[in-house]
Amino acid sequence: MSEHVLAELRKQLDELNLQLLTLLNQRAKLVREIGEIKKKQGVNKFDPEREKDMLDRIVKHNEGPFDDHTVRYLFKQIFKASLDLQIEEQKKTLLVSRKKQAENTVVDLKGTLVGNGTPVIVAGPCSVESEEQVFAVARSLKEQGVRLMRGGAFKPRTSPYDFQGLGEEGLKILRRAADEYDLIVVSEIVNPGDMEMAEQYVDVIQIGARNMQNFELLKAAGSVRTPVLLKRGLSATMEEFLFAAEYIVSRGNTQVMLCERGIRTYEKWTRNTLDISAVPILKNESHLPVFVDITHSTGRRDILLPCAKAALAAGADGIMLEVHPNPAVALSDAKQQIDIPSFETFMKDLRASNLMGNQERVLERK
Ligand code: PEP
Ligand code: MN
């Protein structure tokens, strides 16, 4: 007899479970509709006041046997799941996502296209130190058919006692050298208030690893129309990296390029660990061009070439590296920069690898 009762009760429980499931999904649909309306109104999805009111109302009607605390806990889980559902949907449609835009974003830097299948090299000193230094590098870039020149004028140094960069004067030097040799200037900006000043001198605003989550800086970069090279944070996940890019793109600056520059791990034989898997992941997840900084990711000159090849083989749109006329006396990153003859050898070897696509043909035509 009791066997029969048990079976009957279980049957009722199964039915209740299904009813609960139906109700939960009905609730989720309602929440989604509300989310859509809030999105149109530009209102924040999570409303703690409203959540508190709902919980209070539920508890007021609680007749047990669950105590109020348990009821609150259970409903909070339901609320959280609904909110996660909305956030998940929003994530799926990030502006930087491939799901939003299937075709690659191609950034046009005065005729040099980034992201159209032909790899692009960005090279130059870690810091701008003098006119002579920048011009020496610029000449070599020109000879090598490399159009993008990097150089830091505002240096976010780990120690406040280290060289902090020449500031606006450094940007002026870069501009003069770029104008002389028809190059594109890529330089880091660290202060949101400097964006408009920087636009007078630079063609690409770099946002450094240490500032990847400096949200005010990202917003400022999103408000100008100069292309941005956004470097991955020292320990940033792919998701955090793409959200950082989304900050810029959602403000209207769609010309964003991503740059994997190594992440912090326990390994000491490299300065950082080059996360080569970031390249295909970013290329799959996002339509933005992807660079790999082989200098900061490795911190060593002896493995630049294989790392550059690996990056290009993994689908990178470009490579960044540091070149200095006399690395031994460089005011920053003296250990990792390469000199001009080594840069020329590097370029020769990279071109010989057949990973450079049309770039090789461009050089042959010269
Ligand atoms: C740089 O490229 O000059 C630089 C400081 O690199 P990161 O921000 O990746 O450390
Ligand atoms: Mn450097």
Do 206 and 291 belong to one domain? yes
Residue positions counted in the chain = 366
- State CA 345 to chain mean position distance: 30
- CATH number of the domain bearing residue 193: 3.20.20.70
Pocket of ligand 1 (CB under 6 A): 126, 152, 188, 208-210, 231, 261, 293, 296
Give the count of domains, the chain. Answer: 2
Whether pLDDT at 268 is above 80: yes
- In this structure, are 79 and 141 located in the same domain? no
Atom 9 of ligand 1: nearest residue by CA position: 209
pLDDT value at 54 more than 50: yes
Atom nearest to 210 CA in ligand 1 = 8
Contact 288, 105 (CB under 8 A): yes
Task: Name the pairing type of β-strands 204-207 and 120-124.
Answer: unpaired
Chain segment 121-160, per-residue pLDDT in tens: 999 999 999 999 999 999 999 999 999 999 999 999 999 9
What is the per-residue pLDDT for 86?
A: 78
Both 132 and 17 in one domain: the answer is: no
For 189, the 3-state DSSP assignment is coil
The answer to whether residue 363 is domain-embedded is: no
Among candidate residues 62, 93, 124, the one where a domain is terminated: 93
Looking at residue 90, its pLDDT comes to 67
Residues 335 and 198 in one domain: yes
Test site for ligand 1: of 206, 235, 257, 259, most ligand atoms within 8 A of the Cβ: 206
Which DSSP string do the residues of 308-338 spell out, in sequence order?
A: HHHHHHTT-SEEEEEB-SSGGG-SS-TTT-B
Cβ–Cβ < 8 Å for 265, 92: no
Q: How far is CA 115 from CA 147, 208, 210, 289, in A?
A: 15, 20, 25, 5
Residue 26 is part of which domain span? 1-93
Residues 33 and 124 in one domain: no
What pLDDT score was predicted for residue 92?
66
End-to-end Cα distance, the chain: 95
Secondary structure (DSSP) of 113-165 = EESSSS-EEEEE-SB---HHHHHHHHHHHHHHT--EEE-BSS---SSTTS---
Q: What is the CATH number of the domain that holds 73?
A: 1.20.59.10
Nearest bound ligand to CA 155?
1
> Residue 273's pLDDT is what?
98
Query: How many whole angstroms from 291 Cα to the centroid of ligand 2?
Result: 15
Ligand 2 centroid distance, CA of 179 (Å) = 23
Is 40 found in the same domain as 122? no
79 and 132 inside one domain: no
170 and 80: one domain?
no
**DSSP H helices in 42-130:** 48-60, 68-92
Instruction: Record the pTM.
Output: 0.79
The Å distance, Cα 339 to ligand 1 centre, comes to 18
Banded model confidence at residue 366, pLDDT cuts 50, 70, 90: very low
Q: To the nearest whole percent, how much of the chain has pLDDT over 70? A: 96
Q: Among 93, 117, 150, where does a domain finish?
A: 93
pLDDT-based confidence at residue 91 (cuts at 50, 70, 90): low
Residue 162: inside a domain? yes
For 272-325, the pLDDT digits (tens) are 999 999 999 999 999 999 999 999 999 999 999 999 999 999 999 999 999 999
